[in-house]
Amino acid sequence: MSSDDGSDGGRVALITGTNRGSGLAIAEELRGRGFRVFSLNRSLAGADWLGERRCDVSRPAEIRRAVAGVLAEAGRLDVCVSNAVDRVLDPIADLREADWERLVAINLSAGFHLLQAVLPALRARRGIFVAMGSHAGTRYFEGGAAYSATKAGLKALVETLLLEERRNGVRACLVSPGAIANLDGDDDPYKMSTRSVARCVGSIVDSWPTDLVVGEIEVRPAELATPPIIGIDRLLHV
């Protein structure tokens, strides 16, 4: 196990969207497991150990530039977690074109551009790429057209990556959570904590045998809400 700051040349993880919520929890979890953590954030959290690079992941050139900087400093990459996300919940009739395009750029296209930028480094380390999906990618709801469509596309991207890159030693996993208490002060008993989701990701990248691949894993809250519910709250029922 390497030291927290990676000064011994230990394992390196790159995570997008770590300034709060589950992204920050994943970064903390991997740091606790001995990874040197680097982050790509549009808004910086300000913690030195996060190894932050300012990056708007909706802009491919910024992703490429930020990843190049991380690789130049770290010299290797063992884990990449595509976590940055945006969400707009409007009916199709009311959904603004700009919102649709932004969600596609952040939730789906950013994962593709990130993957292309880190793939050579992951091949070199026989590393793992983890994308944070959602139950919304397979369980649709009113107002969720943009969010669900991007999460469904992410599932296809990760599965294709697995088929193409397994021969090169690169593993891929889509983590598809149900409802997460991502906002400060959210103590809804029907949602998972960010810490619990982070522990799941940490186990996948650090503890699971390297001679197997889990292409997708679903995680659900232990408590089940009582119907009837519509809209995104349907995800509290699976």
Q: What is the C-alpha separation between 195 and 92, in angstroms, rounded? A: 33
| Maximum CA extent, the chain | 55
Q: Which amino acid is at 179?
A: A
Annotate 79-90 with DSSP letters as a single string: EEEE--------
User: Which residue in 25, 147, 149, 221 is the catalytic one?
Assistant: 147
Annotation says 147 is catalytic:
yes
Q: Which two tokens stand for residue 192?
A: 């998972």
Q: Cβ distance 125 to 182 under 8 Å? A: no
- CA–chain centroid gap for 103, Å, is 14
**What are 24's two structure tokens?**
């920050």
75: left (phi over 0), alpha (psi -120 to 50) or beta: left
Give the residue numbers annotated as catalytic, written as ranges. 147
